[in-house]
Amino acid sequence: EAGVAQSPRYKIIEKRQSVAFWCNPISGHATLYWYQQILGQGPKLLIQFQNNGVVDDSQLPKDRFSAERLKGVDSTLKIQPAKLEDSAVYLCASSFSMNTEAFFGQGTRLTVV
């Protein structure tokens, strides 16, 4: 069974530029999560989808971050404009439904210079 796929693996951008990350969850998984992991910290939930609806986006900085999951499968996370403090690993995860085991992709390492 294929795991959670993310791209790109690495991205370096200048501050004030925009960037987008893509996630393809495990087939059949209705719940999709985006986490931000800053170096030395645990992952922090940015947004959680159930199919194509948002369940929780309370920690998403909505002035610069946006995410969508239009057909309830793939998802994109966008940052516009990026700040230095956005440098982190962005992790995508999926689960069959809420309250079931979640599986993570390899992440996208973003460096903002």
Partner 1 sequence: GIQVEQSPPDLILQEGANSTLRCNFSDSVNNLQWFHQNPWGQLINLFYIPSGTKQNGRLSATTVATERYSLLYISSSQTTDSGVYFCAPESSGTASKLTFGTGTRLQVTL
Residue 1 binds to partner 1 (criterion: CB under 8 A): no
Which has the closest alpha carbon to 108: 32, 5, 25? 5
From the CB of 81, what's the least distance to partner 1, in Å?
A: 25
d(C-alpha 104, C-alpha 106), whole Å: 7
Identify which of residues 16 and 44 has a Cβ nearer to partner 1 in the complex. Answer: 44
Residue of 13, 90, 103 lying closest to 46 (CA atoms)? 90
- Among 95, 98, 79, 94, which residue's Cα sits nearest to residue 11? 79
CA distances in angstroms from 94 to 16, 17, 59, listed in the order given: 30, 28, 18
Residue from 17, 66, 76, 106 binding partner 1 (CB under 8 A): 106
By CB under 8 A, what part of segment 52-71 binds partner 1? Answer: 55-56
**Subset of 25-44 contacting partner 1 (CB under 8 A):** 33, 35, 41-44
Closest CB to partner 1 among 15 and 62? 62
Residue 20 or 102 with smaller CB distance to partner 1: 102
Going 38 to 89 to 70 to 83, the CA torsion angle's sign is: positive
Interface residue list for partner 1 (CB under 8 A): 33, 35, 41-45, 48, 55-56, 89, 91, 93, 98-104, 106-107, 109
